[in-house]
Amino acid sequence: MRITDIKTLVVNAHLRNWIFVKVETDQGLYGWGEATLEWKTRAVVGAINDLKPLLIGEDARDITRLSEIMTKHSFWQLGVIGKTAISGIDIALWDIRGKALGEPVWRLLGGKTHDKIKLYTHLGLGESTAVYDSLETNRVIEQALEVIETGYRALKVVFIPYINYTASLREVKHVENMMGRLREAVGNDIDIMVDFHGRPGSASAAVQFIKALEPAHPLFVEEVIQPGDPMAMRDIRNKILCPLATGERLTSAAEFEKYFMLRAIDVAQPDLCHCGGFTEAMRIGAMAAVAGIGIAPHNPLGPIAGVAALHYDIATPNFIIQERMEVVPWFHDVIDGHPDLRNGYWLLPEEPGLGIEINEDVAAQHPYKQEPTNVIQAATISDGTIVHW
């Protein structure tokens, strides 16, 4: 079963352009993957086109071999753009393999380890303004209750202010009050996660905010500092009482290994569209399990990314909870075969491969547009200093 072509389909979904990847074979089978990367759309599409000549004529069933080719024959060390390109192709290859064997991808990854998959979403179900402009307490509570009314039993908030290396008492108290009122409003049966988005510029500032959140018992706090400093993460973990998560911007098992070796986190958050697809994500999950660390995959992306995460979650014993966002009103129209969602859980799909098909007519109605930059340009503090979004 030889690869004959690799194509991309870009679909604009406001804050992100979804990059769908289609791998075609000489037997008529094809697979779909996703390689979405914010504000890097054209670069990722170019990287996929650069990888394509390495794979044309190769057997689509030899997925590990093809992952090795893409990684090692690129010569240069691959950053997030290259790894995202590889991820989209890898996911599509597993889709092909499942279709060829008549089995869902999760069975090929080792089979069922859960009967259903717990989900969480963001305020506004993921609409960008609701997610990233959530610093007003009453509005946050109102939107959280709206999420719960849709059936979710878990939600994530992003209400850490834009700061630099220190946090003022006013900022810390505002976060403490907001979290306390949110917990009171939703009750103790709802899981709350707090995404710091890497905004604190120092470990000490991150700890101040985490301590303010702890009385409300978050399920975990996420990306409390910028990625790449596992020693600082270990120091933070040793000073706090609630679970600590990171990983959405780590792109390989090698990068995760440093955190696992130090036991610097409690929850790993690989993104299948950035870390190398199923092939690398399975390694990351296994390494985390050995270190006693749970898995809660990152996914604010398109519908293929969500379905891929579902298959991964089913086969991952140390899975905890799955992120999901419906960022545009036509989210359900662009693919056929959405997973069955009931009471905040995904049920297990039984269709071969990923079990989805792209509606290319709907996709064509939303062509590429430049992603908006205003949401990240807001990351500036009062004295004009540029800080992390």
197 an active-site residue? yes
332 an active-site residue? no
Q: How far, rounded to the nearest angstrom, does the alpha carbon of residue 99 sit from its chain's CA centroid?
A: 25
CA distance 366 to 16: 12
Q: Which residues pair with 2 in a beta bridge?
A: 59
Q: Which residues pair with 16 in a beta bridge?
A: 13
Could you tell me if 264 and 230 are in contact, meaning their C-beta atoms sit under 8 angstroms apart?
yes
Q: Which residues of 181-195 are buried (b: 16+ CB within 10 A; e: fewer)?
A: ebbebbeeebbbbbb
Q: Which residues of 142-172 are buried (b: 16+ CB within 10 A; e: fewer)?
A: ebbeebbeeebbbbbbbbbbbbbeebeeebb
Nearest to residue 124, comparing CAs of 324, 299, 305? 324
Catalytic residue, from 73, 122, 174, 197: name it: 197
Could you tell me if 312 and 281 are in contact, meaning their C-beta atoms sit under 8 angstroms apart?
yes
Could you tell me if 17 and 366 are in contact, meaning their C-beta atoms sit under 8 angstroms apart?
no
Nearest to residue 43, comparing CAs of 9, 3, 82? 82
Catalytic residue, from 73, 122, 174, 298: name it: 298
Could you tell me if 216 and 157 are in contact, meaning their C-beta atoms sit under 8 angstroms apart?
no
CA distance 241 to 288: 20
- Catalytic positions are 197, 298
